Structure 1
Amino acid sequence: MRLLVDVSVLLLCFVSLVRAVTIESCPLANGNIILTKAEETITLTCVTDHGIDPSDQNELQWYRNSAQVDLNESNRLYQSSLCVQPITKEDNGVIFTCQLKGDASVNSSVELDVQFAPDLNDTEELIVEKQSDVVLSCETRANPAVTMVWRKDGEVLDLTTGGYTTTSDGITSKLSMRNVKREVHQGTYMCEITSSVFGIRSNTFKITVEDKTLQFPQGPIIAGVVVVASTIILAIISRFDKILKWCKRN
């Protein structure tokens, strides 16, 4: 019986020595994920359990991914708070970790799930020459992922005709046109994205195709001007005495 009592006392002592930190957040986390949107604000509060001795060794530290966050001295013991504002799309996937300075194994983390849409809502007017190449670009990076279509004059663009090609790297979508023709390529183009969270957004491009202008070969013209000017200067120098005598007589 005495042995059982001693074991119980040892277990109670062990439990009292267990240390932990927890993170409270606004908005509330789902597990360790905080769902938020760009331009919003989140607050994080790291709280220690009552068994932690408030010494310098047990002060709290915050990390944003692997970079330590600079804290005021008054914001390190018992509990420590962070305010992140405004949230940006670059914060998506960032992990905030709170830990004890004296024991990094005592820690807690949360990850930001930042929802954002592509930055679209512009209108651009382009004047291009016949037989030139044109590339239109639209941002498509978003969370959650979006669907995108290219339109011409309000209709979904038929990519099988007109020499159109599209590329996308998950961040930017591009529409390329080679050997532009007025009857084929002139018009109003739109990149239209659809988001389950933010709805429909788009960029508009108004393309006007003009006749190709005749361009003079600037290099040969400049070279010719230099040759003529040099010839005139040399001629003046070679006849300088005659010119001077003529000037004196007159």
Structure 2
Amino acid sequence: MNLCWCLVLGPLLVMHLVTAVRLELNGKNTSSLLQLNISETASLKCEVFDNTGDEELIWYRGTRQVDVSSNDNVNISQVCVYPLSTEDNGVSFICLLKRDNTVKLSVMLDVRFTPILEGESSVTVEVGKNAQLTCITKANPQAEMIWRKNGVVVTMEKSRYKQYLDSEKFQLNIDRVDKKDAGNYTCVAVATDSNTTETKNFELVVEDKKDVLPVEAIAAAVVVGALIILFFLFAKRETIFKPCMKKREDTSL
């Protein structure tokens, strides 16, 4: 942005052009997106233009300031990220003028990587209860996800089978499990940009329903037991309290 101002000296009108300091980040004068693959190096170069003197630069990774050598922060400054990891995906690096933080540019890292799958490999559930298989997934771009049971794609047409997918997990929920639901399940992720396939196996173990004494039966048993004790004490009241009464009579004598 260029600003003009005038200086009047007697009959003379002198025009001066004032040029605002600007930045370029990786050769661009606007904030941008940098696409790279995992394990590669992200090289970021910030330069000052239209400055009349030395300008000191500072960097931020997200909200945290990056330590930069004093030999590499005047007029031109560079930051390298190596090797890139999944944690770098979506992170923004910001270059700013130290004396004026409103003069800044940013670049967001778009780190591409094939699907990474994790999760609890074995799940045990009783007949009649609900089961949940959770496949923790990371991928950029997001992969196409499917579930297989014993090698066959699980269809969601069955009312008891439901699946849930977000950016971090792929779940298979089974309502009211029965014995035939037991088996080996596979979480399958297909990278949309390379057709790379990653899988993770899960085992669903279905146990017989355990016999549990109902709460109502326990409560009834407690009440019955308490009543039996009370009846016993009432029936034996004379025998129990007779020694005490005799002792009181002896004392009164």
Q: For 1:36-185, what aligned pairs fall within 5 Å after superposition?
A: 36-49=36-49, 51-54=51-54, 58-65=55-62, 67=63, 69-72=65-68, 74=70, 75-85=72-82, 87-120=84-117, 124-161=121-158, 163-183=160-180, 185=181
| Cα displacement (A) at 1:77 | 1.9
Amino acid at match of 1:34: L
Alpha-carbon distance in 2 for matches of 1:51, 1:38: 37
SS of equivalent to 1:131: coil
SS of equivalent to 1:120: strand
Amino acid at match of 1:43: S
TM-score norm. by structure 2 comes to 0.67
| Structure 2 residue ranges without an equivalent (≥5) | 1-13, 234-238, 244-253
Q: Decide whether aligned partners of structure 1 residues 219 and 61 sit closer, same or farther in structure 2, where only a CA change above 3 A counts.
A: farther
TM-score norm. by structure 1 comes to 0.67
Contact (CA 8 Å) 1:117, 1:198: kept in 2 or not? Answer: no
| Structure 1 residue ranges without an equivalent (≥5) | 1-9, 26-30, 243-250
Alpha-carbon distance in 1 for matches of 2:37, 2:64: 24
4+ aligned runs moved over 6 Å, structure 1:
none
Q: Percent identity?
A: 30
Q: Decide whether aligned partners of structure 1 residues 41 and 208 sit closer, same or farther in structure 2, where only a CA change above 3 A counts.
A: same
Alpha-carbon distance in 1 for matches of 2:135, 2:119: 10
| Cα displacement (A) at 1:126 | 2.4
Amino acid at match of 1:159: M
Which residue, out of 16, 22, 26, partners 1:20? Answer: 22
| Cα displacement (A) at 1:86 | 5.1
RMSD between aligned alpha carbons? 4.1
Higher helix share: 1
Contact (CA 8 Å) 1:42, 1:84: kept in 2 or not? Answer: yes
Higher strand share: 2
Contact (CA 8 Å) 2:137, 2:170: kept in 1 or not? Answer: yes
Contact (CA 8 Å) 1:133, 1:177: kept in 2 or not? Answer: yes
What count of residue pairs does the alignment treat as equivalent? 222
Alpha-carbon distance in 2 for matches of 1:49, 1:218: 78
SS of equivalent to 1:142: strand
| Cα displacement (A) at 1:172 | 2.1
Alpha-carbon distance in 2 for matches of 1:72, 1:142: 31
